[in-house]
A and B are shown apart, each in its own frame.
Chain A
């Protein structure tokens, strides 16, 4: 029996299939959303605390570095949501065949930026 398995871990030479891309981005977006939790809780509390707190929160959310972070978080939320729905469907046995799995992965990767632009067009990043 072979005790040392062959290892091929050169990230730049591994071609990740589309479902793999959706999966790793699901994880990356999840980590970004987790990191936003304390800031979101703090700002939610501040905005609800009174008119001054609301104004301070609105001013902070309107500054461009924070808007950039919000854009990243909005992308994270949309990707995590759509990829999550896809993974739930896979768990229940839908879309497991490889051609369909590739197609739903492609749909996810296209739908996320489309929804992102739609959200920005309808509401903008901040109030």
Chain B
């Protein structure tokens, strides 16, 4: 395991990312509860507002870091066979990176007007 994602550092990353996720998700939840976009134009107008676009682009890596530390803890606790644990870590890692890139592509393309 890399030193960057182990022990105290992982613990700290988990808490620091949690603070951003809490604020941003409460904002998104309130926005989509009270003012859900009714069509593509409304969703695109929201996602391309500079502060929202920045918030979303920051949200992607912050969420994935948080999810990675969390799922890694779960796998270490419950999957004791080393091969299965490493296999699942690789699977989650690749799925996380693919999801993150796909979400960033959506934000950037919307910003370019596509």
Contact = CB atoms under 8 A, between A and B. Distances in A.
B43 A123 contact: no
Contact of B100 (A27, A41, A51, A55): A41
A5 to B, nearest CB: 18
Contacts of B41: 51
Nearest to B110: A48
Q: Is the interface of B mostly helix, strand, loop or mixed?
A: helix
A45 B110 CA distance: 9
Range of interface residues on B (Cβ < 8 Å): 35 or more
Q: Is the interface of A mostly helix, strand, loop or mixed?
A: helix
Contacts of A37: 63-64, 67, 95-96, 99
B7 to A, nearest CB: 15
Nearest to A28: B74
Given A47-B43, A51-B40, A84 B18 contact: yes
Contacts of B32: 123, 127
Contacts of B109: 48-49
B25 to A, nearest CB: 7
A48 B95 CA distance: 20
Contacts of A53: 40
B38 to A, nearest CB: 6
Contacts of B10: none
Contacts of A31: 71, 74
Interface of A: 27, 30-31, 33-34, 37-38, 40-42, 44-45, 47-51, 53-55, 77, 81, 84-85, 88, 91, 119, 122-123, 126-127
19 contacts: A37-B95, A38-B95, A40-B99, A44-B103, A45-B102, A45-B103, A45-B106, A48-B110, A51-B39, A51-B40, A54-B39, A77-B29, A81-B25, A88-B15, A88-B19, A119-B33, A123-B32, A123-B33, A127-B36
Interface of B: 15, 18-19, 22, 25-26, 29, 32-34, 36-41, 43-44, 47, 63-64, 67, 70-71, 74, 92, 95-96, 98-100, 102-103, 105-107, 109-110
